[in-house]
């Protein structure tokens, strides 16, 4: 009986790892309008311009492999490469793991500060210092217990040479005010070419905090730009302006859980709407992206958000939006080995349970494909791997590798 159980377990793992290697396995459907969205929208709002939503479907023609490298990552949230090709993966429960290049070996890093892991909180994103090879410093965002609630905080610390613990941890920025909630931390990190750090923050979800996204005397519902020490980055648009926090780069965002810089150096975010209104935004300094005055979504109750408007003078339109939602999370611009995907925006989708491949031209969306829809997984983050492959982690703890066949 012992041998039988072992054999069954081994066979199950084998089937999991091999069943995902079928060429171009995909459950994408196409609607009558030629888009990948087959469901009716939640609202009757019309796009501001052609191609702003429900763009034509595209399908990859180049053969590729899909592999599950690991099924036991725990609660992964963010994934990046270390210089030697290994992976640094955050775990929502309050720590990080170093994962081998083949995905099989996992070692835990100790020494992180306490996180508030209720709801959507926990250990969230991670970024390497631009000088990591010489200083071993990493930056990470987390929901920190603070005041009478919690908030999105950014800290930095030094990894030991053996990558088993972190020391000299210091919180360099706190997105105040704190709030006793468990949603919409935003919390992606991205360094630009000059070594300044972009930080996205959510507006904490509840109606009492939603208004902060349009106010500039706080850090909720914002895209921030700071130095390695947490100070306002030089050249920020509101430095010296009364009533504005100097760290603010852009504002009026809801829950920007994805943020990436494209190969040209342009900053983009993806953010979650309510019922409808998930967005892709081209982030520019000093701009207002409209939440909670302007949206293509509606309240979960079915009521209109605010005045029920989709355009307002002084606010930016999303480059693209979804209704119904796909719940976009981590994003990356693909530069890897599959020629057809180069320059495409890859988005890990939670409720959508797929990776959205967004084809862009001149900063406009011209095509959309739903990859790995057959896997029925909540894709939390995606990585344009240094080895030319695409990687993804899921809420169920799976670790995917997508490579050229």
Q: Report the pLDDT averaged over residues 397-403.
A: 98
Give the bridge partners for 204, in sequence order.
none
How crowded is the C-beta side of 163, counted as CA atoms within 13 Å? Answer: 18
Instruction: Name the band, by pLDDT with cuts 50, 70 and 90, for residue 26.
Output: low
Measure CA of the first residue to CA of the last residue in the chain; give whole Å.
39
Residue ranges covered by each domain of the chain: 28-404
pLDDT of 24 > 60? The answer is no
User: Tokens 């796909």 belong to which residue?
Assistant: 326
User: Tokens 């980055």 belong to which residue?
Assistant: 233
- The model's pLDDT over 287-308, given as tens digits with 9 standing for 90+, comes to 999 999 999 999 999 999 999 9
Instruction: Name the band, by pLDDT with cuts 50, 70 and 90, for residue 13.
Output: very low
- Amino acid 231: pLDDT: 98
Rounded Cα distance between 153 and 199, Å, is 10
Q: For the purposes of burial, counting CB atoms within 10 Å of the CB of 38, is it exposed (0-12), middle (13-18) or buried (19 or more)?
A: exposed
Rounded Cα distance between 16 and 125, Å, is 28
Spatial neighbors of 387 by CB under 8 A, at least 6 apart, are 85, 101
Per-residue DSSP letters for 92-105?
Answer: TTTEEEEE-TTS--
Rounded Cα distance between 57 and 387, Å, is 28
Please, what's the b/e burial string for 63-94 (b: 16 or more CB within 10 A of its CB; e: otherwise)? ebbbbbbbeebbbbbbbbbbeeebbbbbbbeb
- Amino acid 10: pLDDT: 43
184 is catalytic: yes
- Amino acid 379: pLDDT: 98
- Amino acid 3: pLDDT: 38
Pairing of strands 390-394, 166-174: unpaired
User: Tokens 């009716």 belong to which residue?
Assistant: 40
What is the percentage of the chain residues whose pLDDT exceeds 90? 93
CATH topology assigned to domain 28-404: Neuraminidase (2.120.10)
CA nearest to 120, candidates 141, 105, 138: 141
Q: Report the pLDDT averaged over residues 224-233.
A: 98
pLDDT of 7 > 90? The answer is no
CB 249 within 8 A of CB 223: yes
Does this model's pTM top 0.85? yes
CB 251 within 8 A of CB 203: no
- The model's pLDDT over 317-346, given as tens digits with 9 standing for 90+, comes to 999 999 999 999 999 999 999 999 999 999
H or E segment to which residue 12 belongs: helix 2-19
CB 256 within 8 A of CB 278: no
- Amino acid 27: pLDDT: 74
Sheet strand arrangement including 248-251? 189-191, 197-200, 222-226, 248-251
pLDDT of 363 > 60? The answer is yes
Supply 168's token pair: 């000299």
**Catalytic-labelled residue, pool 92, 183, 184, 370:** 184
H or E segment to which residue 133 belongs: helix 132-135
Alpha-carbon Rg for the chain, nearest whole angstrom, is 21
- Amino acid 261: pLDDT: 98
- Amino acid 22: pLDDT: 44
SS3 sequence of 178-224:
CECCCCCCCCCEEECCCCCEEEECCCCCCHHHHHHHHCCCCCCCEEE
What is the percentage of the chain residues whose pLDDT exceeds 70? 94
Q: Report the pLDDT averaged over residues 251-261.
A: 98
Give the bridge partners for 212, in sequence order.
none
Give the bridge partners for 388, in sequence order.
none
pLDDT of 8 > 50? The answer is no
User: Tokens 């009478």 belong to which residue?
Assistant: 148
Supply 125's token pair: 């994103």
Q: For the purposes of burial, counting CB atoms within 10 Å of the CB of 405, is it exposed (0-12), middle (13-18) or buried (19 or more)?
A: exposed
Mean pLDDT of the chain: 94
Q: Report the pLDDT averaged over residues 155-177.
A: 98
pLDDT of 5 > 50? The answer is no
Supply 240's token pair: 């010296």
- Measured in residues, the chain has a length of 405
- The model's pLDDT over 48-73, given as tens digits with 9 standing for 90+, comes to 999 999 999 999 999 999 999 999 99
pLDDT of 14 > 50? The answer is no
- Centre a 10 Å sphere on the Cβ of residue 272 and count the other Cβ atoms it contains: 27
């Amino acid at each position: 009986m012992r041998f039988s159980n072992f054999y069954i377990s081994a066979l199950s793992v084998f089937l999991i790892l091999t069943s995902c290697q079928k060429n171009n396995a995909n459950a994408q459907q196409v609607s009558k309008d030629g888009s990948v969205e087959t469901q009716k929208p939640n609202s009757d709002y019309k796009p501001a311009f052609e191609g702003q939503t429900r763009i034509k479907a595209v399908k990859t023609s180049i053969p590729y492999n899909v592999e599950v490298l690991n099924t036991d990552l725990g609660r992964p949230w963010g994934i990046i490469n270390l210089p030697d090709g290994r992976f640094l993966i955050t775990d929502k429960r309050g720590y990080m793991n170093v994962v081998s290049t083949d995905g099989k070996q996992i070692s835990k890093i100790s020494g992180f500060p306490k996180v508030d892991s209720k709801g959507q909180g926990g250990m969230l994103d991670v970024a390497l210092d631009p000088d990591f090879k010489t200083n071993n410093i990493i930056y990470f965002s987390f929901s920190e217990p603070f005041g009478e609630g919690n908030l999105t905080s950014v800290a930095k610390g030094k990894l030991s040479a053996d990558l088993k613990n972190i020391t000299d941890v210091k919180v360099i920025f706190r997105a105040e005010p704190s709030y006793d909630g468990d949603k919409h931390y935003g919390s992606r990190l991205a360094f630009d070419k000059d070594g300044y750090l972009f930080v996205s923050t959510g507006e904490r979800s509840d109606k009492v905090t939603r208004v902060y996204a349009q106010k500039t005397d706080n850090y909720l519902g914002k895209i921030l730009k700071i130095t390695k020490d947490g100070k306002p980055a030089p050249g920020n648009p509101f430095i010296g302006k009364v009533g504005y926090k100097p760290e603010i780069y852009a504002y009026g965002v809801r829950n920007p859980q994805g943020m990436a810089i494209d190969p040209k150096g342009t900053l983009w975010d993806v953010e979650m709407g309510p019922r409808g209104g998930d967005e892709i935004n081209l982030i520019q300094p000093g701009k207002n992206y409209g939440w909670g005055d302007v949206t293509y979504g509606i309240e979960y109750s079915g009521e209109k958000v605010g005045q029920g408007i989709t355009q307002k003078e002084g606010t930016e339109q999303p480059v693209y939006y979804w209704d119904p939602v796909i719940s976009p999370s981590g994003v990356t611009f693909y530069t890897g080995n599959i020629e057809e995907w180069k320059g495409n925006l890859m988005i890990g989708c939670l409720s959508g349970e797929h990776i959205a491949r967004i084809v862009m031209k001149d900063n406009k969306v011209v095509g959309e494909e739903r990859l790995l829809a057959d896997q029925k997984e909540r894709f939390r983050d995606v990585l344009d791997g240094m080895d030319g492959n695409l990687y993804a982690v899921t809420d169920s703890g799976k670790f995917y590798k997508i490579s050229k066949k």
